[in-house]
């Protein structure tokens, strides 16, 4: 399991002012970066977040899973950082409603962390 310290915790919402260069960033990198998203088939907010990251230029692969606790256990998401959906992108895990702009920054800067999380 990844330690809590291995994540950068974000306690922010989406923020409507993110529009600017975010879709340009993903497009300028060549082909879109693919996010592999694991979510419950009954969660409504996850679909809105998928729309958010797609609008930012990311490609998505969606896996609906009834047992999200098992998915998170298998991926090593710390229990105190868990949220409704989990995303894999390159070597990172994204937990919850992390804004697309922060994912883009993560992929640009490539810090030695396990991922980003907005727990809850």
- 38 contacts 65 by C-beta, under 8 angstroms: yes
- 104 contacts 90 by C-beta, under 8 angstroms: no
Q: Per CATH, which fold does 4-11+20-117 belong to?
A: Glutaredoxin (3.40.30)
- 36 contacts 88 by C-beta, under 8 angstroms: yes
> pLDDT 10s per residue in the chain (120 long)?
555 555 554 433 323 233 334 443 444 556 889 999 999 999 888 899 999 999 999 999 999 999 999 999 999 999 999 999 999 999 999 999 999 999 999 999 999 999 999 987
């Amino acid at each position: 399991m990844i330690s809590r310290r291995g994540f950068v915790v974000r306690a922010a919402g989406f923020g409507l002012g993110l529009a600017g260069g975010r879709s340009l960033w993903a497009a300028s990198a060549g082909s879109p970066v693919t996010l592999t998203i694991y979510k419950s088939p009954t969660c409504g907010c996850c679909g809105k977040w998928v729309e958010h990251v797609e609008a930012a230029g990311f490609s998505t692969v969606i896996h609906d899973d009834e047992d999200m606790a098992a998915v998170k256990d298998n991926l090593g998401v710390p229990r105190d950082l868990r949220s409704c959906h989990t995303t894999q992108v390159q070597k990172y895990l994204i937990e919850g409603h992390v804004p697309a702009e922060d994912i883009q920054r993560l992929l640009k800067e490539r810090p030695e962390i396990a991922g980003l999380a907005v727990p809850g």
